[in-house]
Each structure stands twice: as structure tokens, then as C-alpha cells.
Chains A and B, each alone.
Chain A
Amino acid sequence: MNKVMSNKLMITLYIFPALFLIAVLIIVPLILTGYYGLMDWNGIGSMTFIGMENYINAIQDGAFWDSAWHSLLLALFSTLSLVIYLAVSMILASKIKGADLLRKIYLIPMLLSSVAIAQLWIKVYNPANGILNTILRGIGIENPPSWLANPDVVLYAIFIPILWQYAGFYILIYYAALKNIPESLIESAKIDGANPLQIAYKIKLPLIMGVVKVTIVLAIVGSLKYFDLIYVMTGGGPSGSSEVMASYMYDLAFSTNNFGYGSAIGFLLLIITLVVTVIIRRLTASKEDIQY
């Protein structure tokens, strides 16, 4: 038995395809990003080594920090919206008939491509004929904003489809966690005279805190990676007011052929994401469940 299952050749054969692909197409590119960041390079011609210049430029680049700030704002909105999802899940998990069907309905937007979602919401926000402004005019608002063209509201306007897309995902996770709480705990709290709000806050919430922490990490790290939806909806505009880190990097490389500088931004995006992940995990982990 042990001899057969320790056959080096077979082990190599079975692990090789996955290991090779992940090493060549994920690990190597991540390292190369940092290396290309040291180059002056337009993507086609030869590279010139320029040391830390791109990284120094990035740190002094106001547009980059603006994009990082927008990513951070989206992360903040996403985290705050978890409270809404949690509240909905609490209601859903409190012996509601049809809960299973409802949580599946909530999940539908999550299955659609960000491109389709972005195109649909471009139509929703259309100043003249979009459903939103049609409704707003219907209830007597004379001059509803042109949502995606207004630098002051565009980021909020983009966040609504994000909320729409991910609601079902988080509700699904919270619902599953809440359903895992033993009924006996809730019953004995009721006998002790606890009201539904107390049960939710003092008993259910602490019991699913582990899952809540995971969702906080997901919401924040996910926000730092946002790209498709914003790229399609606004392209980062108007005039950079909805640019996020990934879209800024993408435009540098593939619109202006600034591959060296784009790589440096890409590497910073990687470092920021990893650092934020570790920090959030540290902050949210209790002593017993720190694991990397």
C-alpha cells in the first residue's frame, strides 16, 4: 500500500499539470510584475533599467492615490453594507416560510457577468430614459442627476450595482451560518425572557462572529480588486472620479503603452492587497484562530 502510494513518478505525474500551470501563469507573472516595474518599457521595444524610478513616481502620483482612495471608499461602503445583509439574513433565518426560495432569488444578480450588470445599470442610470430617472420624475423630482456623468455622485452610483450584485452572496453565507446555531440555545434564551433583538445581538451575532470576520476580509479585499464593472460603466471617468487601482493600472499599460509604470502600479496593487489581507486577518482574528 504505502509503496504504491509513495511512487515518486506517479506523484509527479499527478501533480505536474496543475503545478506547472500555476507556477508559470500565476507565480512567475507576479514576480515579473515587480521586475518590469524597474524598467522603462512600452511593451514592445526593448526595456531600459531605471531602478526605483517608477515606484518613486507612483508614490508621488496624485492620480494613483486618488484611485487608491476610491478603492478604499468602495471597501468601506462594502463593509458597511454587510450590516444590511446581516439584518436581512437574520429575518430570513427566523422561521420564514419560503426562505430557501427567497435566498435563491437574492442570489440571481451574483450569477451575471460584470459586463452585463454594468451595461444594464448604464441603462438604469440613463439620464433621459433610464428607469431610475423615469421613476424620480414620476414622483415629481424635476431635474434628477445624470448619475454616471457627475463626478460628485458617480462613485455612489457605481456602488449600487455592486450592492445589488453581492447581496445574495453575503446573505447566503450568513443564512447558512445562522441555520447552524442550535435551536435549543434560542429556545432557552426565550424562556429566560430575551426579546428577538436581544437574541439577535447577544446570542446569534457572537455565535456567527467567525463567519462575519471572513466576510469582512472578503468585502475589503474584493473591493481592492474591483475592475470589470467600473471599467465598463465609466472607464474610470468622468475625469478620473471613479478610477480604482486596477483600472488605473490597466489604462497605463493597455491604453497608453506605459508597461513599465503600469507594472509598478500592478506590483503596488499586489503588495497593498496582501498587506491589507494580513492586517485585517490580524485585527479580526481571535487568539485561537490565527492561521496563515
Chain B
Amino acid sequence: MGRIGYILLYACLALVAAFQIFPLLWLVLFSLKDNAQIFSGSPFALPNDPQWGNYLNVWQGGIGLYFFNSVWITGLAIVLTVLFASMATFAITRMNWKLNKFVLGLFMVGLMIPIHSALIPLFSMFLSVNLIDNPLSIVLTYTTYNLPITIMILLGFYYTLPREIEEAAVMDGSSINRLFFTIILPMTTPVMATTVIINMIYNWNEFVFVNTFISSDEYKTLTVGIQNFIGQYMTDWGSIGATLVISIIPVLLAFLFFSNKVVEGISSSAVKG
């Protein structure tokens, strides 16, 4: 292929990259402007006199609380999901029992179904045990609905662990708990890191459960919080922009530092079909 061919191919790829990046670049720019600059100036002009106050205002105006809720709910659900998924994957791949394939099949149902089909019964179940408008309902649903994909990612890794490790440990009189927590679990650190990142992205971005189960402002997470918030700031573009930037910074940071793990996790989540 000639030189011109290569330049054309690069141009195509650069065009796609520009399409993927420009809306975000524009977002960051208008988050630092006031309406006068946004409505009169060129959309890609750098902000003269950047309005950092936009960020401070929205943070103090409620986004700080939503951010905090997102952090602890995301974090708690990650810990529970990865722990329960690791235990279940261990039992399915390493222990001897008849129904293991059946149970695995049951878990995998969770990968195929539209969550909206389960929403109304979930709502009435939580209502009957007083968990509506209680963040516990969110932690429980996040934990549960991420179990299937987490187990699926862990599964491949667990199958490759050599049997000799367990045999040696059991010979030495190690209990199952010691074997799992001090030998197996530490060995799965790389794949656990992948599942943590994937869980973080899913939980951080989740919308419909919070929107359905939580009504008090004090428990809302960022995705639902910014919905209400933006409603009040309908015409103040700078504040809306700042709100959106704050909400996407954590996942962008995670991507910046752990991009290979993110790529790995997203690729393996595709196999689910």
C-alpha cells in the first residue's frame, strides 16, 4: 500500500477519534464558561476567565452528597459482589458436587434477562420489607445483578488454577476456609482486579434501580442526583457542564490508571452474548 493509502487510513481513524472525543471536549469547555460566553462565543473557544466557581457551586449545592453516596454504595457492593462471586466460583470449579453445572446455569440466566422485567416485583418485594427509600435495597440489587458477570469473568481463571495447590494444602491438613482465603484468593488477585474495575463502572453508572427505589435526596447517587439537579439548573449551562464533568471524572481516572484491566474486563463481558 502506498503512502497516500496510509495517510487516508490514518485520516479515517483520526476522524473516528475526533467524533468520540469532541462532545466531551466541548463539555469540559462549557463547564468553565458562563452563559454569556457559551451563547455568544465560538463553541470551541477556550473560556476567557474560566468559571471554576461553577464546580464549587454545584458541589456545595448537593452534588457533593450524591458523590459521597455513589462512592460508598459502589464500594460496598463491589466488596460483596467480588467476595460472594469468588466463593461461588470456588465451590463450582474446585469442589465436588452434582448440581454445580445446574447452579452455574441458573447464575447465567442473569446475563440474558432484561432487568426491567424484574423491576416491578423487586419494587413490591422491597416495599413489603420496608427497604424502599433505603440504600440497602440499592446495595443488594447492585451486588446481585453484578454476580453473574463477575462469576463469568472469574470462572476462566479458576479453571486454570492447578489442582496440585489444593492437594498439597489439604495434605498439610489445611481447612477449606484456610485454603480459600490464604491460598486461592490471593492467587486470583489479577482477575479480581479486573472484576473490581468492571463492577465499579457498572455501579457508578447505574440509574434505573436508584431511580425506582430511592426517593429521598439524602440517599440518591450521582446518576439520579444529577437528573434532579439539572432540572433546577435548566438554563445554567456552566453548572450542568460542571455537574456532568464531576460525575464522569472517577471512571475516567480509573480508566487512565487501569486501562488494560478495563479493556480486559469489557472484552470478557462481551463473551456473554
Contact = CB atoms under 8 A, between A and B. Distances in A.
Interface string B124-158: 11000000000000001101110110010000000
Contact of B267 (A1, A116, A173, A254): A173
B38 interface: yes
A52 interface: no
Interface string B21-42: 1111011001000000011000
B86 to A, nearest CB: 9
Nearest to B87: A14
B121 A32 contact: yes
A184 interface: no
Interface stretch (A54-62, A75-83, A118-126, A150-158): A118-126
Contacts of B124: 32, 36, 43, 259
B204 A18 contact: no
A233 B33 CA distance: 23
B69 interface: no
Contacts of A176: 267
A131 B273 contact: no
A265 to B, nearest CB: 9
Contact of B91 (A14, A173, A196): A14
A255 to B, nearest CB: 11
A18 B23 contact: no
Given A4-B176, A7-B176, A14-B91, A91 B9 contact: yes
A200 interface: no
A22 B110 contact: yes
Contact of A1 (B171, B204, B241): B171
- Most chain B CB within 10 A, of A110, A112, A217, A254, is at A112
A267 to B, nearest CB: 7
A7 to B, nearest CB: 7
A105 B251 contact: no
B121 A15 contact: no
A207 interface: no
Interface residues of A, number: 92
A104 B263 contact: yes
Interface stretch (B48-56, B57-65, B111-119, B187-195): B111-119
* Main SS class of interface, B: helix
A115 B117 contact: no
B1 to A, nearest CB: 6
Contacts of A5: 94-96, 166, 170, 176
Interface in A191-215: 196, 214-215
A95 to B, nearest CB: 10
Interface in B252-273: 252, 255, 259, 262-263, 266-267, 270-271, 273
Contacts of A86: none
A140 interface: no
Contact of A30 (B43, B90, B117): B117
Contacts of B118: 25-26, 29-30, 33, 266
A266 B117 contact: yes
B95 A6 contact: yes
A114 B205 CA distance: 7
- Most chain A CB within 10 A, of B23, B201, B241, is at B23
Contact of A28 (B115, B121, B230, B270): B121
A273 B273 CA distance: 12
Contacts of B180: 14
Interface of A: 1-2, 4-8, 10-11, 14-15, 17-19, 21-23, 25-30, 32-33, 36, 43, 88, 91-92, 94, 96, 102-116, 119-121, 123-124, 128-129, 131, 134-135, 164, 167-169, 172-173, 176, 196, 214-215, 217-218, 221, 224-225, 227-228, 231-232, 246, 249-250, 253-254, 259, 262-263, 266-267, 269-270, 273-274, 277, 281
6 contacts: A8-B97, A26-B145, A29-B119, A114-B207, A115-B205, A228-B208
